[in-house]
């Protein structure tokens, strides 16, 4: 076991080839840290190490991951608040000398900012299965397939027309995550063949069947970001085989769920948001799922 440096919300163990971060549990610990539980970042995944003054009499030891080394930070794309950055260890200011000592010990071991991005993720992605509730639907990932099941209370008419969606990893090229703490937060799947997804060319995530949108209490960072990172990690570790056809469609549901969907479809039809032909075709599709 290597040296251990304990700070607020986490303890870092300095191992021969990596830094093992274990997050504390408690009401003051950010929920993202509690969900992650721990992170192990190899020295080769670190671009830089800094020690900077923190807020209210603290000092921060910060590891900066290399671009493309960690699926979590790649999915976050710079949108995380400082308080939710898993590679910031906040310490009392009186421990600044100790923080500088460990920073000096690490600096000769890290990769540095020069050089190409790694051809694989060096930090493990959160493991599937995973799921979370967005504003307009439920997103699930079982390690091979991402599925969106729409909520009748939140999904747009465009998504209802398209039906519930299921995407094989082999059909995807990436994931776009926009924080729920920002305007128009969403999770969008980047499809290899956008023409194969009804409405995927739509301008907004609320109209795109390859997206789920966030809202107050829906798609929080601690649920949707690990989900996005899990999909990215699976994509990088499982390159798509050649010639795999697209597979997007609706899954079978229970009769009560089908009845609710037909009822909502009827409301859209009465409101003039769905044509007679669209109503008939979609109703037949839903009934076929029974």
Mean pLDDT for all residues in the chain: 87
- Which residue range forms the structural domain that includes residue 25? 3-109
Residues 98 and 155 in one domain: no
Residues 68 and 165 in one domain: no
- pLDDT tens-digit readout, 127-137: 999 999 999 99
Residues 51 and 147 in one domain: no
CATH code, 135: 2.30.29
Asked, for residue 281, whether it belongs to a domain, the answer is no
Report pLDDT for 250: 32
Residues 96 and 139 in one domain: no
Residues 51 and 141 in one domain: no
- The pair of three-digit structure tokens given for residue 68, joined into one six-digit string: 């493309």
Q: Which residue has the higher pLDDT, 135 or 264?
A: 135
Q: How many CB atoms lie within 10 A of CB 162?
A: 25
Asked, for residue 269, whether it belongs to a domain, the answer is no
Report pLDDT for 153: 87
- pLDDT tens-digit readout, 79-128: 999 999 999 999 999 999 999 999 999 999 998 765 677 889 999 999 99
Asked, for residue 274, whether it belongs to a domain, the answer is no
Is beta strand 10-14 parallel, antiparallel or unpaired with respect to 3-6?
antiparallel
Residues 134 and 243 in one domain: yes
* Res. 282: pLDDT tops 80: no
Going from the C-alpha of 225 to that of each of 27, 119, 230, the distances in angstroms are: 20, 22, 9
Asked, for residue 159, whether it belongs to a domain, the answer is yes
- The pair of three-digit structure tokens given for residue 275, joined into one six-digit string: 């044509």
Report pLDDT for 118: 87
> What is the pTM (predicted TM-score) of this model?
0.81
Q: What is the C-alpha to C-alpha distance for residues 224 and 215, in angstroms, rounded to an integer?
A: 12
Asked, for residue 279, whether it belongs to a domain, the answer is no
Domains of the chain: total:
2
Q: How many CB atoms lie within 10 A of CB 97?
A: 9
Asked, for residue 278, whether it belongs to a domain, the answer is no
Boundary residue ending a domain (109, 140, 156): 109
Asked, for residue 96, whether it belongs to a domain, the answer is yes
Report pLDDT for 252: 42
Asked, for residue 19, whether it belongs to a domain, the answer is yes
Q: What is the C-alpha to C-alpha distance for residues 185 and 23, in angstroms, rounded to an integer?
A: 26
Residues 140 and 91 in one domain: no
């Amino acid at each position: 076991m290597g040296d251990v440096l304990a700070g607020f919300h986490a303890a870092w163990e300095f191992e021969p080839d990596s830094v093992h971060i274990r997050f504390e549990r408690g009401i003051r610990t950010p929920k993202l840290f509690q969900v992650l539980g721990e992170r192990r970042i190899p020295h080769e995944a670190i671009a830089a190490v800094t020690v900077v003054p923190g807020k209210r009499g603290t000092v921060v030891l910060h590891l900066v991951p290399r671009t493309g080394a960690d699926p979590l930070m790649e999915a976050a794309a710079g949108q995380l608040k400082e308080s939710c950055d898993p590679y910031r260890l906040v310490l009392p200011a009186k421990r600044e000398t100790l923080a500088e000592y460990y920073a000096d010990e690490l600096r000769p071991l890290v990769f540095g900012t020069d050089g190409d991005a790694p051809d694989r993720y060096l930090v493990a992605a959160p493991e599937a299965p995973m799921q979370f509730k967005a504003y307009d639907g439920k997103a699930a990932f079982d390690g091979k397939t991402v599925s969106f099941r729409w909520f009748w209370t939140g999904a747009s008419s465009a998504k209802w027309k398209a039906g519930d969606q299921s995407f094989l990893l082999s059909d995807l090229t990436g994931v776009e995550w926009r924080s729920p703490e920002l305007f128009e937060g969403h999770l969008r799947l980047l499809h290899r063949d956008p023409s194969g997804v009804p409405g995927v060319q739509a301008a907004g995530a609320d109209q795109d069947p390859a997206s789920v949108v966030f809202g107050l209490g829906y798609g929080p960072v601690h649920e949707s970001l690990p989900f996005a990172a899990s999909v990215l990690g699976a994509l990088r570790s499982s390159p798509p085989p050649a010639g795999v056809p697209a597979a997007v469609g609706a899954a079978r549901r229970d009769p009560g769920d089908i009845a609710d969907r037909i009822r909502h479809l009827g409301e859209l039809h009465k409101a003039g948001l769905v044509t007679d032909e669209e109503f008939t075709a979609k109703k037949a599709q839903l009934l076929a799922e029974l």
